[in-house]
Amino acid sequence: MSPKNVVIVGATGAVGQEFLKVLEQREFPVKSLKLCASAKSKGKALRFRGDTLKVEELKADTFKGREIGLFSAGSAVSKEFAPIAARAGCVVVDNTSAWRMDPEVPLVVPEVNPKALQAHNGIIANPNCSTIGLVVVLKPLHDKARIRRVVVTTFQSVSGAGARALEECVEESKAVLAGRDFKRSIFPHQIAFNCIPQIGQKAETFQPTGYTDEETKMIFETKKIMEDDAIQVAPTCVRVPVMRCHSESVNVECAKPITADRAREILKSAPGVKVVDDPSKMEYPLATMAAGKDECFVGRIRLDPTVENGLHLWIVSDNIRKGAALNAVQIAEML
């Protein structure tokens, strides 16, 4: 692969900074790197491969001469600037929800649907972090036993809401332990020592169906990535006071018979998956285990005796890494 001129949009955010780490660790062939963010971050210094780079303000002419754009600066920014970048010849890998369900934009997880990349028109969508962890594990099982139904409950870390959310959780935890009042700005309810629906500040994130935006994303993204509209997905998404990594309790119902041992065997040879499943030794996926790792961890694989061909799974993945930056860089590598 020849060296590429790369631009990171949203470079100062949690995912933007993870982009820098992943590009460096995977030795991505960067010819030159431009870092962009909003006007308030202009001039901020970030390190890459021993050099100090200054953050520039994102503008329409940012993409001249750039070949790959890694975007993570919010849906509104992506809606405005991704088409501008694509017209300038810069292929965009977008980490926001702006383009995920656009029928003209491929939604890609390299281990699951790499052929979808062939249909891109300059913009490629990176899926939701919870969806990525789910489909990397489900696809190998789907190929062998044909999954008909998925019931998933997510336990999503605060880092999924950004760097400020991490700070808010830490500071609120200190306040609660000290018996002090705390004025929050990111979460609608106390997140310290608490579990809340995975929502933003506005009640409009709940749909008329009662599902949240996050839950709706998981339903439709799973079908699109797995390329099977027949799969039924029933999600409940929960925000928990964990700093990093999303965990998921998953129940699947298959069309064909499958045992827990057979599922383990399939998953042990699946790309991007690491099986950790020996409860007798207290070995199973943990958020602390998956943090900073590339793989999607799966364990507690067991039969569900209440339905025909049913399985229970516990999945954990790093939402900032595989759930965002790593998946985007893998897409760029495939390009």
Round to the nearest angstrom and report the end-to-end CA distance of the chain.
9
The upper half-sphere exposure of residue 295, i.e. CA atoms within 13 Å in the direction of its Cβ, equals: 17
Q: pLDDT tens digits, residue range 123-132?
A: 999 999 999 9
3-state SS class at 60: helix
Position 2 scores a pLDDT of: 87
The CATH superfamily assigned to 4-127+325-334 is NAD(P)-binding Rossmann-like Domain (3.40.50.720)
As a whole number of angstroms, the distance between CA 218 and CA 211 comes to 11
Note if the pTM is more than 0.85.
yes
What tokens appear for 216 in the block? 């709706």
CATH class of the domain whose range is 131-319: alpha beta
Position 201 scores a pLDDT of: 55
Q: pLDDT tens digits, residue range 85-119?
A: 999 999 999 999 999 999 999 999 999 999 999 98
In 3D space, the residue among 54, 59, 166, 100 whose CA is nearest the CA of residue 328 turns out to be 100
In 3D space, the residue among 261, 250, 259 whose CA is nearest the CA of residue 313 turns out to be 250
As a whole number of angstroms, the distance between CA 182 and CA 95 comes to 31
Position 203 scores a pLDDT of: 55
Domain residues of the chain, as ranges? 4-127+325-334, 131-319
- The dihedral built from the CA positions of residue 161, 164, 166 and 168, taken in this order, carries a sign that is negative
Position 200 scores a pLDDT of: 64
With contact defined as beta carbons under 8 Å apart, do 112 and 225 qualify? yes
Which residues in the chain show pLDDT less than 70?
A: 200-204
Instruction: List active site positions.
Output: 129, 246
Position 123 scores a pLDDT of: 98
